[in-house]
Amino acid sequence: MDKKKLFNPDGIDSLNERKIIKGNSTNIFNLNNVKYQWANHLYRTMMGNFWIPEKIDLTQDRTDYNNLTLHEREAYDGILSFLIFLDSIQTNNIPNVSDYITAPEVNLILSIQTFQEAIHSQSYQYIIESILPKETRNYIYDKWRENKVLFERNRYIAEIYQDFLDTPDEKNFAKVIIADYLLESLYFYNGFNFFYLLASRNKMMGTSDVIKLINRDELSHVVIFQQMFKEIAKENTGFFNEELIYEMFDKAVEQEISWTNHIIGDKILGITKETTEKYTKWLANERLRSIGLRPIYTGFDKNPYKHLEKFADTEGEGNVKANFFEGTVTSYNMSSSVEGWDEF
């Protein structure tokens, strides 16, 4: 695949010629005429979701952290380390994907996503600085190097990204799109559940509030890659290999369960190895359905953490306007002025 040109006087910006990839765009952001209306709706929603982590008070969380059980602290630290890696690699990777996207409205939302991923990284730094003792702060950033399970987990997704940078062909680009979708739609959520579980017991409430806001952003990122996948598949017959998609999903589910059992297992009240398997496979089935593919895990059709949904509520007063667990968003944003999610 070739990168889009930065300066392309011979490009054609008509909607009939516009494509997600392999288009011949001038690279001018002509947004008066938009082909992919879902991107236009999503842009407005993402812009309405701006937030600053430092506005959330974490004072009580420092006391709560010291009162966590040993297993809860270990899980808190480990999950935080994993989330830091995910948002760090996405901040660096999204511009690489955008280099090959030839629809300006999609480039626009990918730019916002890059910004949001950077905000997430700053949010984790704020949590670490506010809550953790000085002597353990650097340990959180380096944990992925020392923990074999976490290292293998991180390496799988990172090597897919690196392979495309080293060999930017269609096969590797297709894998990157699937990997991005997996990261955004599957990798975060057992970790998010842990923080919501603590909040359900009135522990680490400030951390939970930060996670809610990150969670809200990630839902929009799920939609980005869900829609990009469907558009690319529609415009480029045979671009994605279904067998490879299922293989990557199965690997991601295996690693997600292995990592969650390693860092949480049966040691945290409210989470067990059984519920981890049920939730992860249920979520994977939902994510496959969202891109028009059949689910692969028979019998995993219920969410064991449904009761935690109220802790993912960013609208307040228990008014959950988006189904965090299913990712079927209606108006999951600070501003209620934007509609249009229903079509997803």
Catalytic sites, residue numbers: 124
Contact 77, 138 (CB under 8 A): no
In the chain, what is the straight-line distance between the N-terminal and C-terminal CA atoms, in Å?
29
Contacts with 192 (C-beta within 8 Å, 6 or more apart), sequence order: 211, 215, 312, 324
Residue 180, number of CB atoms within 10 A of its CB:
24
Distances (CA, A) of 177 to 22, 183, 184, 229, 326: 15, 10, 11, 7, 20
